[in-house]
Amino acid sequence: MSIVGRQIAKARAAKEMNQSEFALALGFKNKQTVSNWENGVSEPDTLTLVKISEVCGVTVDWLLKGDSPASNNVQNVENMNFSSGTGSVTHRGPTNINSSSPDHKGYNIQDDLISTIVKLNQKIFDLEAEIKVLKGENQRLKKTN
C-alpha cells in the first residue's frame, strides 16, 4: 500500500465511511476507485486529492506525506526554499537549532519561525489548489451555459 493509499484509508475511516459512501461523496459511482487507491493500484489525480482533503478535513500535504511538516522536529535546516505561485521564501544555511537553550527554558524562536513558515506555505498551497478547482468549475459552468 502506498503512503497516499494508507492516508486515504485513515482519513476515510476517521470519517466513519465505507468505501462506497466515500466514493459517492467524491462523485464516483462505485467503491472500486477508492479500493484501488487504498491498495496502491492507482492514485488520485490532483483535483481529486483536493476533494478528498475537503471531505475528510485534512491537508493535501498530509495525504501525500503522511505527516505534518510542522510536527517534524527539525534540528538542522540548510538551504530551505519554500516556493509558491506568489513568490518564495529562501534561507541559505546552515541554521543550527538548539532546542535546549538554557536562557529560554527549551523555547526556541527559530523552531517557531520555521514551523510558521511551513504552515503558511501549506495554506498558500491549499488556497492555490482551491483556486484551480474553482477556475475549472467556472470554465465547466461557462461551457454548459
More confident residue, 96 or 138: 138
Measured distance CA(9)–CA(32) in Å, rounded = 13
- pLDDT, averaged across the chain: 76
What value does the mean pLDDT take over residues 68-84? Answer: 43
Angle ∠(86,89,93) on CA atoms, nearest 5: 165
Give me the pLDDT at residue 32, please. 95
Among 127, 118, 123, 125, which residue's Cα sits nearest to residue 81? 118
Give me the pLDDT at residue 139, please. 86
Give me the pLDDT at residue 45, please. 92
Give me the pLDDT at residue 96, please. 46
Its pTM stands at: 0.48
Q: Is the omega angle on the peptide bond into residue 102 within 30 degrees of 0, that is, cis?
A: no
pLDDT at 102 over 50: no
